[in-house]
Amino acid sequence: MKKLIFTILFALLLGPECKSQTPEWQECNNGLYGGQITTITIDGSNIFAGTLGGGIFLSTDNGESWVSKNTGLTNLSINAIAISETNIFVGTDNGIFVSTDFGESWINKSEGLGAFQITSIAIRGSNIYIGTLVYGIFLSTDNGENWTPKNTGLKKLNIGAILISGSNIFVGTYGSGIFLSTDGGNNWIARNSGVEKLAINTLAVSGSNIIAGTQGKGIFVSTDDGNNWVRKDTLSSSLIVKSIVANDKNIFAATLYHGVFASTDNGNSWVEKNSGLINKAINTVAFSGDNIFIGTYGSGVFMSTDNGDTWIPRNNKLTNISVLSLAENASTIIAGTYNGIFLSTDDGNTWTAKNQGLSHHIVNSIAVSGSNIFAGTAGDGIFLSTDNGDNWVPIYGKSFYMDVSSIAINENKIFVGTYGKGIFFSSDYGKNWISKNEGLSNYYIGPILINGQNIFVGTGEGVFLSTDNGDSWIEKNNGLNNIHVSSLCINGSNIFAGTNFYGLFLSTDNGENWNNKSNGLPNFNIISLTTKNSIIFVGTLWGVYFSPNNGDSWTPLNVGLNGTPQSLLVNGSTLFAGTSRNGVYKLDISTLDVQEPQSNAQFRIIPNPASDVINIQTNQELFEINIYNSIGIKILSAENQKKIDISNFPAGIYICNIISTSKIETQKFVILK
Q: What is the DSSP string of 184-204?
A: TTS--EE--TT-S--BEEEEE
Question: Which tops the pLDDT comparison, 269 or 470?
Answer: 470
pLDDT of residue 622: 67
Q: What is the DSSP string of 359-409?
A: --S-EEEEEEETTEEEEEEEEB-EEEESSTTS--EEEESTTS-EEEEEEEE
CB contact at 8 A, 616 and 658: yes
Question: Confidence class of residue 520 from pLDDT cuts 50, 70 and 90?
Answer: confident
Q: Give the separation between CA 276 and CA 447, rounded to whole angstroms.
A: 33
310-314, 356-360, 398-402, range with the lowest pLDDT? 398-402
pLDDT of residue 149: 96
| DSSP assignment letter at 9 | H
Q: Give the separation between CA 663 and CA 565, rounded to whole angstroms.
A: 40
Distances (CA, A) of 531 to 346, 525, 570: 22, 18, 7
pLDDT of residue 10: 42
State whether residue 483 is helix, strand or coil: coil
Q: Give the separation between CA 231 and CA 362, rounded to whole angstroms.
A: 32
| DSSP assignment letter at 77 | B
| Residue whose C-alpha is closest to residue 275's, from 303, 310, 302 | 310
pLDDT tens, position by position, 582-607: 999 999 998 775 544 444 567 788 88
**CATH architecture classification, 2-21+597-671:** Sandwich (2.60)
The residues with which 343 forms a beta bridge, in sequence order, are: 334, 352
How far the first Cα of the chain sits from its last, in Å, is 35
pLDDT(8) > 50: no
Can you give the residue ranges of every domain in the chain? 2-21+597-671, 158-272, 321-588
pLDDT of residue 71: 97
Distances (CA, A) of 235 to 247, 293, 315: 22, 22, 29
208-212, 279-283, 396-400, range with the lowest pLDDT? 396-400
Rounded average pLDDT over 321-333:
95
CATH number of the domain located at residue range(s) 321-588 in this protein = 2.130.10.10
Q: Give the separation between CA 556 and CA 318, rounded to whole angstroms.
A: 28
Q: Give the separation between CA 462 and CA 482, rounded to whole angstroms.
A: 4
pLDDT of residue 45: 94
CB contact at 8 A, 103 and 49: no
For the chain, what is the mean pLDDT? Answer: 90
pLDDT(11) > 80: no
Residues of the chain above pLDDT 90, percent: 73
Q: Of 3.40.50.1220, 1.10.10.10, 1.20.140.10, 2.120.10.30, which CATH number belongs to 158-272?
A: 2.120.10.30
Question: Confidence class of residue 22 from pLDDT cuts 50, 70 and 90?
Answer: low
pLDDT(581) > 60: yes
pLDDT of residue 112: 79
Q: Give the separation between CA 562 and CA 24, rounded to whole angstroms.
A: 11
3-12, 51-60, 68-77, 530-539, range with the lowest pLDDT? 3-12
* 582 CB-near residues (< 8 Å, 6+ apart): 27, 29, 53, 54, 319, 320, 321, 562, 563
pLDDT(560) > 70: yes
State whether residue 575 is helix, strand or coil: strand
pLDDT of residue 600: 57
| DSSP assignment letter at 182 | S
Question: Confidence class of residue 655 from pLDDT cuts 50, 70 and 90?
Answer: confident
pLDDT tens, position by position, 46-70: 999 999 999 999 999 999 999 999 9
10 Å Cβ neighbour count for 193?
14
pLDDT(15) > 70: no
Peptide bond into 565 cis (omega under 30): no
Tell the burial category of 309 from Cβ atoms under 10 Å away from its Cβ (0-12, 13-18, 19+).
exposed
Strand ranges, E, within 401-519: 402-410, 413-418, 423-426, 434-435, 445-451, 454-459, 462-466, 474-475, 485-491, 494-499, 504-507, 515-516
pLDDT of residue 238: 82
Q: Give the separation between CA 162 and CA 137, rounded to whole angstroms.
A: 9
Give the chain's length: 673
| Residue whose C-alpha is closest to residue 385's, from 363, 410, 356 | 356
50-54, 333-337, 622-626, range with the lowest pLDDT? 622-626
10 Å Cβ neighbour count for 114?
13
Question: Which tops the pLDDT comparison, 201 or 533?
Answer: 201
pLDDT tens, position by position, 354-389: 999 999 999 999 999 999 999 999 999 999 999 999
pLDDT of residue 597: 46
Q: Give the separation between CA 471 and CA 469, rounded to whole angstroms.
A: 6
CB contact at 8 A, 368 and 331: no
Question: Confidence class of residue 13 from pLDDT cuts 50, 70 and 90?
Answer: very low
| Residue whose C-alpha is closest to residue 254's, from 268, 235, 237 | 235
Strand ranges, E, within 100-141: 107-108, 118-124, 127-132, 137-140
Q: Give the separation between CA 626 and CA 330, rounded to whole angstroms.
A: 52
| DSSP assignment letter at 15 | H
State whether residue 18 is helix, strand or coil: helix
213-217, 575-579, 622-626, range with the lowest pLDDT? 622-626
